[in-house]
Amino acid sequence: MDTLVTQILNSLFYASILFLIASGLSLVYGVMRIVNMAHGNLYAIGAYVAAWAIGLAGAELHVSLLFVLLITGALAAALAGAIIEPMFLRPLYRRAEEYQLLMTFGLLLVLEDVMRLLWGPHPLTASALSEALGSISVLGATYPTYNIFVIVVGALAAVGLGAFVYRTRFGVMLRATSQDMRMASALGINVKRVYVQAFTLGCLMAGLGGAVVMPISGAVLGMGVDALILAFVVVVIGGLGSLEGALVGALIVGFVRTIGITYFAEVELAVLYLIAAVVLFVRPAGLFGRA
Amino acid sequence: MSLLETTAITKTFGANRAVDAVDFTVRAGELLALIGSNGAGKTTLVNLISGLLRADEGTIRFSGKDITRQTVNQRIRAGIARSFQLVNLFDHLSAFDNVALTIFARQGKTRSLTTLAGRDQAVADESMSILKEFGLAPKAPTLAGGLSQGERKLLDVAIAYALRPTLLFLDEPTSGVSTREKAPIMDVVTSIVRSGNITAVVIEHDMDIVFRYSDRIVAMHQGAILADGTPDEIRRNEQVTTTLIGTGETA
Amino acid sequence: MTELALASPRVWSGRRVVIGALAVGALAAIPAVASPFQTITICYGLVFAIAALGFNLLLGYTGLLSFGHSAYFGTGAYVVALLVKYLGVASMELFVVAGILGSVVVAGLFGVVCVRYTRIFFGILTLALSQVLWSLALKLFWVTGGSDGLRVPTPTLLGGLGGPGADKVEFIAHRYYYYVLILFLVATAAMWVIVSSPFGKALQAIRDNETRAEFVGVQVWKYRWIAFVISGAFTGLAGALWVPLNGLTTPDILYWPFSGRIVFFTVLGGFRTFVGPIVGAIAYNYLETYAVGFTVYWQLVLGIVLVLLVLTMPTGLVGTAIQIFERVRRARRP
């Protein structure tokens, strides 16, 4: 029984991280029709900056304050996004699609090496945080409290993002622009501003994901590309451009991975790809995607 | 026997019956105009017949054969071709190559990786002669993306024509083109269609063009056929004139 | 778009033949006039040029941007290494054939999955699949040597030349260089025929307008798959030729930054021209060999240059050169 509880919690934990990364990717695609190859590296930046900030603050601050510093990761990623979109993506909107992919790939290379330049080839971590919370007893199973914290963050993010997109005025503009950019522009919506804001929001989510997972798995070079591929699988299953899809996809991938790791550790990735391939075959737009 | 007939063909998008149990026939050798306001279902009908969309209900028979379940490729081989309302060309290939490629595809030569396309004199000659028929010969080496809008429209039709179809669907061949250029385009199209013994169905909004060039007119409205007859009959048909022409459909 | 202004090929034939002949002559003369180190550098450049030709069949001619071409390069290389390890083969001819066959099989399988999907999904799918291969090369260390990789000794050319006992540098800077040069010329000629064939035209039509291509009777998926397999074959050949040069194959050549290099030098040279990728590959390799001494952050440099290329010089070195040439030619006319 307690292993079942642990499995479920692990799945939710994993799904939370995946949701944070994939929702950003999906949001950006939904609004701007761009797939940002560097998205995974913004997740990595979130991890690195948060680790660095916490490392700087060191042992002087109380652990609870260190938690607040996790936000620096999200903010750093958001700032990067706010610079990237107007400077590097905006000039390419009228050009052939290949150029957007090439550009974001170039940014991926740059970001990867910038992280190596700033923080070196060895992983950074802040395990003090994950240890500080200790463990908690859930339905008979002992489970790290930090992971519960991550699940809560993920859930709050899902609710928050949903509320933001569906309940606020900005969300209305976002959805209008994503459905018909020209019409939105004709109605007076400042599309340029919506784009940069949407992109920044997407990066913020990714950075938050990286910051939050860092105390457990550290900030490592290469984590960006791994995250990109996983986010892609989530988004294929859920449908590119859909937030519900990102949520459902994240949950599915989270559960499959947890089960996969327990029974087929070696081929876990293959099982995920298999599911993605099956979904692509049966419903190319994904479960919730637009055609 | 009609060349093409659809029986109760239907296509629904969500709650919208874009094409509603339509019985549509085309007789061999005629130039038929398909008219109707935007959203009447004309393009959807053409999409169903050409294979871009799959019908929800109903059947399509071409030369007596049931083609309802056939793929786009099969329908092309059977002799159906179409042009597009929003011009669909190979922009980075020259006008000459656009047509030549179509001829290669028609002849099944695109499977060949080891021969040089430029060396095939027969295809080159046919491509140039088609371009000449459409008045595009001087622009043969120009990349399709660099042609004028009128030239692009003509090339779009030329590509469909290069498939040597029996039945040719032209989706608004004169739309987006200046009034001055419309008649010349239709002149070229009609003369080619008549001399080539091709049956043509033209979707058109410009009533002057419709009345001047077509043998028969089919009017659609809200997914169904409203009227079907010669230009004179249609002109005298009050239902048609009020729903379509009365709303200022003339260009 | 400026790309549309590129001159039609017919105008250039006479000039092109002369330039081509000069280039071939120059390449043939290298071992005689340059130092062994420089010769070997150009040799690497020719190998990457073959990979670039293969890659560009997909990008420039079919409109598919792959981020996973390291998979085929690596397959070619590892097939050679495994032939050495398990069968003690030393014949370069066998290496070449096996390398091509291996990458054809892998490209055939991966292609079935990848070419069904749109450009964005295609790109990331290719990346993901190459990562799977990379992780296999790392994990199955008892077969592949893991992160240490596998050594490959000097091969035998044409049954008699070279072989494990020969002086390596002398061998590579002369005999092997010509071997690679000849295969490079054969590959270039083959690719030129392919892109100039009716099949090649069909690919370009698919690139420009997938829907219309379907509507003139071209079976889009099938042709994309064939292009994918051919592309994989060329890149696999490059991998097989690369291993004896390098002496060693490691999982690094399956890792995604290596795919990035292939993308980079193709774009650097200009992916909308035939020779662009060749020029880009040779130029890139030259730069990398000399610049690697200056900075360890080579990936950063690549990334910045790629970003700048996309923003300011999207047609690459060759494409931009052609445009400048055209402008000068037009200005000269009275």
Q: Using H for helix, E for strand and C for coil, what is the string for A222-245?
A: CHHHHHHHHHHHHHHHHCCCCHHH
pLDDT exceeds 70 at position C6:
no
- Tell me the chain C residues in contact with residue B72 when contact means C-beta distances shorter than 8 Å: 214-215
Q: State the average pLDDT over residues C251-271.
A: 93
Label residue C237 left, alpha or beta by phi (over 0 means left) and psi (-120 to 50 means alpha): alpha
Q: State the average pLDDT over residues C141-153.
A: 89
For residue B220, list its beta bridge partners.
B225
Site from C126, C256, C301, C304 to mutate, A interface, most A CB atoms within 10 angstroms:
C256
A115 inside 8 A of chain C by CB: no
CA atoms within 13 A on the CB side of C169: 4
Interface residue ranges in chain C relative to chain B, Cβ cutoff 8 Å = 1, 3-5, 8, 10, 193-194, 196-202, 204-205, 207-209, 211-219, 223, 272
pLDDT exceeds 80 at position B247:
no
Higher pLDDT, C105 or C332: C105
Question: What is the structure's pLDDT at A187?
Answer: 81
How distant, in Å, are the alpha carbons of A171, A175, A177, A195, C234 from that of A168?
5, 11, 14, 16, 53
Chain A residue with the nearest C-alpha to that of C112 = A277
- Tell me the chain A residues in contact with residue C122 when contact means C-beta distances shorter than 8 Å: none
A267 inside 8 A of chain C by CB: no
Selection from C264, C256, C271, C329 nearest residue C301 by Cα = C264
Task: Round to whole Å and give the CA distance between A181 and C326.
Answer: 37
Tokens standing for residue C235:
């890149």
Interface residue ranges in chain B relative to chain C, Cβ cutoff 8 Å = 50, 52, 72-73, 76-77, 81-82, 84, 88-94, 97, 100-102, 104-106, 109-118, 120, 141, 143, 145-146, 159-160, 162-163
Considering only CB atoms, B92 lies closest to which of C204, C217, C218, namely C204
Scored b (16 or more CB within 10 A) or e, C110-148 reads: bbebbbbbebbbbbbbbbbbbbbbbbbbbeeeeebbeee
Question: What is the structure's pLDDT at B90?
Answer: 95
ipTM: 0.87
Distance, CA of C201 to chain centre: 21
CA atoms within 13 A on the CB side of A241: 18
Q: Using 50, 70 and 90 to split pLDDT, how confident is the model at B175? A: confident
Q: How close, in Å, is residue C333 to chain A by CA atoms?
A: 31
Does the beta-carbon distance from C217 to B105 stay under 8 Å?
A: yes
Q: Using 50, 70 and 90 to split pLDDT, how confident is the model at A289? A: low
Distance, CA of C183 to chain centre: 13
- Tell me the chain C residues in contact with residue B138 when contact means C-beta distances shorter than 8 Å: none
| Tens-place pLDDT, residues C161-198 | 666 666 777 777 788 899 999 999 999 999 999 999 99
| Any domain includes A290 | no
Does the beta-carbon distance from C67 to A270 stay under 8 Å?
A: no
Considering only CB atoms, A105 lies closest to which of C128, C263, C305, namely C263
Helix, coil or strand: residue C249? strand
- Burial of residue A148 (CB within 10 Å: 0-12, 13-18, 19+) is middle
Selection from A74, A16, B89 nearest residue C207 by Cα = B89
Task: Round to whole Å and give the CA distance between A85 and C224.
Answer: 32
Question: What is the structure's pLDDT at A268?
Answer: 64
- Tell me the chain A residues in contact with residue C314 when contact means C-beta distances shorter than 8 Å: 95, 99
Task: Round to whole Å and give the CA distance between C162 and C158.
Answer: 9
Selection from A18, A69, A42 nearest residue A215 by Cα = A69
| Tens-place pLDDT, residues C289-302 | 877 777 888 889 88
Distance, CA of C28 to chain centre: 20
Task: Round to whole Å and give the CA distance between A184 and A198.
Answer: 15
| Tens-place pLDDT, residues B24-80 | 999 988 899 999 888 888 999 999 999 989 999 999 999 989 999 999 999 999 999
Q: Between chain A and chain C, how many beta carbons pairs sit less than 8 Å apart?
A: 97
Helix, coil or strand: residue B115? coil
Question: What is the structure's pLDDT at A266?
Answer: 62
Does the beta-carbon distance from C311 to A88 stay under 8 Å?
A: yes
Question: What is the structure's pLDDT at C275?
Answer: 93
Considering only CB atoms, C306 lies closest to which of A97, A109, A229, namely A109
Q: Using 50, 70 and 90 to split pLDDT, how confident is the model at C132? A: confident
Does the beta-carbon distance from B92 to C214 stay under 8 Å?
A: no
Q: How many domains does chain A have?
A: 1
pLDDT exceeds 80 at position A63:
no
How distant, in Å, are the alpha carbons of C216, C217, C218 from that of B108?
11, 9, 9
C141 contacts C78 by C-beta, under 8 angstroms: no
Q: How close, in Å, is residue C145 to chain B by CA atoms?
A: 39
Q: Between chain B and chain C, how many beta carbons pairs sit less than 8 Å apart?
A: 106
Question: What is the structure's pLDDT at A267?
Answer: 63
How distant, in Å, are the alpha carbons of C85, C154, C162, C171, C214 from that of C165?
17, 8, 7, 10, 56
A200 contacts A69 by C-beta, under 8 angstroms: no
The DSSP output letter for B200 is E
Per the listing, tokens 């073959």 go with C50
Task: Round to whole Å and give the CA distance between B181 and C244.
Answer: 64
B172 contacts B186 by C-beta, under 8 angstroms: no
A178 contacts A241 by C-beta, under 8 angstroms: yes
Helix, coil or strand: residue C71? helix
Helix, coil or strand: residue C144? helix
Does the beta-carbon distance from A229 to C59 stay under 8 Å?
A: no
Q: Give the amino acid at C16.
A: R
Does the beta-carbon distance from C198 to B81 stay under 8 Å?
A: no
Which range among A259-268, B125-134, C130-139 has the greatest average pLDDT?
B125-134
Q: How close, in Å, is residue B140 to chain C by CA atoms?
A: 11
Does the beta-carbon distance from A273 to C303 stay under 8 Å?
A: no
Does the beta-carbon distance from A225 to C120 stay under 8 Å?
A: no
Question: What is the structure's pLDDT at A291?
Answer: 44
Question: What is the structure's pLDDT at C1?
Answer: 34
Mean pLDDT of chain C: 88
Q: Using 50, 70 and 90 to split pLDDT, how confident is the model at A1? A: low
| Any domain includes A13 | yes
| Any domain includes A291 | no
| Tens-place pLDDT, residues B78-87 | 999 999 888 8
C128 inside 8 A of chain A by CB: yes
Q: State the average pLDDT over residues A236-252.
A: 87
Scored b (16 or more CB within 10 A) or e, A35-59 reads: bbbbbbbbbbbbbbbbbbbbeebee
Task: Round to whole Å and give the CA distance between B226 and B229.
Answer: 10
Selection from A242, A221, A271, A204 nearest residue A48 by Cα = A221
Q: Between residues 52 and 81 of chain C, which touch chain A (CB distance below 8 Å)?
A: 59, 63, 65, 67
Distance, CA of A115 to chain centre: 18
| Tens-place pLDDT, residues C40-77 | 899 999 999 999 999 999 999 999 999 999 999 999 99
Selection from C42, C152, C14 nearest residue C90 by Cα = C152
Q: How many domains does chain C have?
A: 1
C26 contacts C256 by C-beta, under 8 angstroms: no
The DSSP output letter for C248 is E
Question: What is the per-residue DSSP string for C263-320?
Answer: HHHHHHH-TTSSSHHHHHHHHHHHHHHHHTTT-S-HHHHHHHHHHHHHHH-TTHHHHH
Q: Which chains touch A (3 or more CB pairs under 8 A)?
A: C
Task: Round to whole Å and give the CA distance between B57 and B69.
Answer: 11
For residue B81, list its beta bridge partners.
B168
Higher pLDDT, A19 or A129: A19
Q: State the average pLDDT over residues A86-90.
A: 93
- Tell me the chain C residues in contact with residue A115 when contact means C-beta distances shorter than 8 Å: none
Task: Say which CATH number the domain at A255 has.
Answer: 1.10.3470
Q: State the average pLDDT over residues A84-107.
A: 90
Percentage with pLDDT > 90 across chain A: 38
How many CB atoms lie under 10 A from the CB of residue C176? 25
Question: What is the structure's pLDDT at C11?
Answer: 46
Does the beta-carbon distance from C306 to A273 stay under 8 Å?
A: no
| Any domain includes A288 | no
Does the beta-carbon distance from B101 to C207 stay under 8 Å?
A: no
CA atoms within 13 A on the CB side of A280: 22
Site from A29, A105, A221, A272 to mutate, C interface, most C CB atoms within 10 angstroms:
A105
Distance, CA of C235 to chain centre: 5
Considering only CB atoms, C303 lies closest to which of A91, A109, A280, namely A109
Considering only CB atoms, B116 lies closest to which of C197, C202, C272, namely C197
Beta-strand pair B199-203/B31-35: parallel
Q: How close, in Å, is residue C251 to chain A by CA atoms?
A: 15
Q: Give the amino acid at B188.
A: V
Does the beta-carbon distance from C4 to B113 stay under 8 Å?
A: no
| Any domain includes A260 | yes
Considering only CB atoms, C208 lies closest to which of B91, B111, B118, namely B91
Full residue range of the structural domain in which residue C55 is found: 2-332
C267 inside 8 A of chain A by CB: yes
- Burial of residue A278 (CB within 10 Å: 0-12, 13-18, 19+) is exposed
C221 inside 8 A of chain A by CB: no
pLDDT exceeds 90 at position B216:
yes
Q: How close, in Å, is residue C128 to chain A by CA atoms?
A: 6
Flag the least confident range among A81-95, A184-198, A249-263, C4-18.
C4-18
